[in-house]
Amino acid sequence: MRLLLLTALLALLLQHATAQDDYCFGKDGERAQTRHFSSKTAYQIAKGTHIDKQYQVPGCEPKKMWIFHRHGTRLPTVNTIKEAPRLEDLRDLIDKNYNVLRTKPETNALCQIDLFGIKMWKWNASITVDMEQHLTSQGYEDLRGTAKLYQRYYPSVLSSKYNNTHYYFRHTDTQRTTESFKGFSEGLFGDSRVATAADIPEQDLLLRPYDYCTDFKNKNYKGEGSEYYKFTNSSQWNQTMEDIGRRLGFTYLDEKDIMLMYDMCRYEQAWQVDRTSVWCAAFLPEQVNVLEYAEDLKYYYEAGYGFPENERFNCRAVQDMLKHLSTPASPQVVAYFAHSAGLQTLLTGLGVSRDDVKLTADNFDIMSNRRWQISKLGPFAGNFVAVKYSCPAEREQEKAVFFINQNAVQLNWCNVGLCNWSDVMKNYKTINEANCDEYYCRSGASAGQASLLLSALIAGIVYLMH
């Protein structure tokens, strides 16, 4: 009798132990991998949590702020919206793999909850291509939330009464940044309609410089020969793809399908932060890290330190910040609502989160603690905030703190995040004194010269013809 009981107990224990073997996203209270979704990470997950200790500078008073804010969580691009119904096929195929074909793998299988979640998934068909990249309601909340949070810490600067001498707002020419501005305004003033944003210039060189620079667009950051390309053609990458497919019961699953599941996972997780996207269950945490590294590589060479010239690219935004914060003159608050590439190149221009070792296709293993991690730097609603302080009792009266997503930026020439303004000006002297029209985009500049030459030539011909 006792033996029987023992055996039963043992069997129960064993069963429990094997059930524990399968990673279960639906039961994971931490879901650490949601912190590694690169530019599609939810702000609530990426944001810093120590601003309450970092904003207050004894003996100093905050005077001015300069904000560069990425839009909040958005709907997918046209391509992803068009491809989304394919996920319903994949849903049915996975269900069939597990329940009909019995190709469930021996190890690392989906747990029951996750499988059931996938089986019940439906694409929200009211998301149509005409709404591509629109801000979602969570995206609006993202910005309303950052505005309220910064206002809580800086009530005198982020006054709840709007006027257009104190505040200067601008967004780019897109629905998602326009709505983000409104969300931010509502957060500050309790009403999205009281504030107005400045007109968008025909050439938005300040917020979308990459639209006007072929050098920037054409460099090879993800094509053949790039580190991104090498990484996504490596045996480690291939193994990851194979493992993901096998986990879902496939002998072969196209990379395109895997990427679609990955995108939907990240979108849904950001749209409803406190729910779980069933598609995230398709990926084990260590697989997410591999996918994340590919994204970091891509952005590193597109907008980061991968190419040294990227450090010169966002010259105008850096100058704009320094100009505004150098004087006590109005506006006291400047806030821009823009995009991922703008935010990333701004950080690169400022030398923020620069690694001592370059990110390459070969060093995934040693770069696990890299500073260039877009999940942390550039999530949805990612924001860079510079706060200018006045410290009357100090020898150096003007100081500044820079924040990325509510984390004080650590620069080695500052004192735990608190920088002397004279040091700011000294460190950014070169970029601040540069002529931004020529500092980076030489193809643009040379195009200008070529057209000058051409018009001289035409003028000459016209002259000769007369």
Ligand X SMILES: *[C@@H]1O[C@H](CO)[C@@H](O)[C@H](O)[C@H]1NC(C)=O
Task: Give the interface with ligand X as residue ranges (CB under 6 A).
Answer: 124, 126-127, 159, 161, 163, 165-166, 224, 233-235, 238, 395-396, 414-415, 420, 423
Judged by beta carbon, residue 198 or residue 450, the one nearer ligand X is: 198
Judged by beta carbon, residue 282 or residue 414, the one nearer ligand X is: 414
Cβ(164)–Cβ(196) below 8 Å: yes
Judged by beta carbon, residue 112 or residue 397, the one nearer ligand X is: 397
R_g (Cα) of the chain, nearest Å = 26
**DSSP one-letter string for 262-314:** HHHHHHHHHHSTTS--GGGGGS-HHHHHHHHHHHHHHHHHHTSTTSTTHHHHT
Judged by beta carbon, residue 163 or residue 203, the one nearer ligand X is: 163
CA 398-403-404 angle, 5° bins:
155
**C-alpha of 121 from chain center:** 27
Q: Let me know if 339 is a catalytic residue.
A: no
Smallest separation, CB 222 to ligand X (Å): 13
Judged by beta carbon, residue 107 or residue 165, the one nearer ligand X is: 165
- Cite the beta strand spans of 323-397 per DSSP E: 333-338, 383-390
CA 284-286-291 angle, 5° bins:
95
Smallest separation, CB 163 to ligand X (Å): 4
Judged by beta carbon, residue 43 or residue 167, the one nearer ligand X is: 167
Q: Per 3-state DSSP, what percentage of the chain is helix, strand, and coil (rounded to 5)?
A: 50, 10, 40
Smallest separation, CB 278 to ligand X (Å): 13
Instruction: Identify the CA nearest to 216 among candidates 128, 325, 310, 77.
Output: 310
Cβ(345)–Cβ(311) below 8 Å: no
Query: Of the listed 16, 36, 50, 71, which one is catalytic?
Result: 71
Count how many residues are written for the chain: 466
Strands 333-338 and 167-171, bridge-based pairing:
parallel
Instruction: Identify the CA nearest to 97 among candidates 242, 253, 239.
Output: 253
- Contacts of 325 by beta carbon, 8 Å cutoff, 6+ apart: 64, 66, 386, 388, 400, 421
Q: How many CA atoms lie within 13 A of 117 on its CB side?
A: 18
Judged by beta carbon, residue 418 or residue 434, the one nearer ligand X is: 418
Smallest separation, CB 140 to ligand X (Å): 12
Smallest separation, CB 382 to ligand X (Å): 22
Alpha carbons 461 and 128: distance in angstroms, whole number: 54
Smallest separation, CB 16 to ligand X (Å): 35
Smallest separation, CB 166 to ligand X (Å): 4
Alpha carbons 215 and 310: distance in angstroms, whole number: 10
Please name the amino acid found at residue 98: Y
- Paired strand residues for 385: 67, 403
Residue at token pair 């090879």? 220
Judged by beta carbon, residue 343 or residue 424, the one nearer ligand X is: 424
Q: What are phi and psi of 169, to 5 degrees?
A: -120, 145
Smallest separation, CB 13 to ligand X (Å): 41
Judged by beta carbon, residue 158 or residue 207, the one nearer ligand X is: 158
Cβ(159)–Cβ(166) below 8 Å: yes
Smallest separation, CB 308 to ligand X (Å): 24
Please name the amino acid found at residue 178: T
Residues acting as catalytic residues: 71
